Amino acid sequence: MKEGQPQVSLEIGSIGQAGVVEFKTASVSDAEAIAYAGQEIKKYIEQNRPKRIVFDFSQVRFFSSQVLGLLLDIRSKLEPYGGQVVISAIEPQLHRVFRITSLDKIFQFYPDKESAATDEAG
């Protein structure tokens, strides 16, 4: 990581044809880090054009509303070529945030990143 960049608590990789964004901390709330993460994910999309990006929340216990904005922003980057954002391994109390905001109707949810990455029905 270069000097002066915010600490980013995620890893971007792939499983098969899907991109996988794994949050690596229990709390995803630093505005600068989330914005920087968005830039990194967009670079990944430009370079790889995945049909699916999996956001893995297995280690997350709290996230700020800016994360919802990030998910919607990434979704808009994938839509022009039929790509989609899916969510994996999210805790029930965090899933409730998606229900309250009706975002559970926009995103698909999976129990783990492997099933989210390989599900062809999505």
User: Nearest Cα to 15, choosing from 117, 115, 122, 109?
Assistant: 117
User: Would you list the domain boundaries of the chain?
Assistant: 10-114
**Global confidence as pTM:** 0.91
Q: Which fold has domain 10-114?
A: Transcription Regulator spoIIAA (3.30.750)
pLDDT at 116: 97
Kindly list the averaged pLDDT for each block of 10 residues, start to end, along the chain of length 122.
Answer: 59 95 93 93 96 96 95 96 96 96 97 93 54
DSSP 3-state of 20: strand
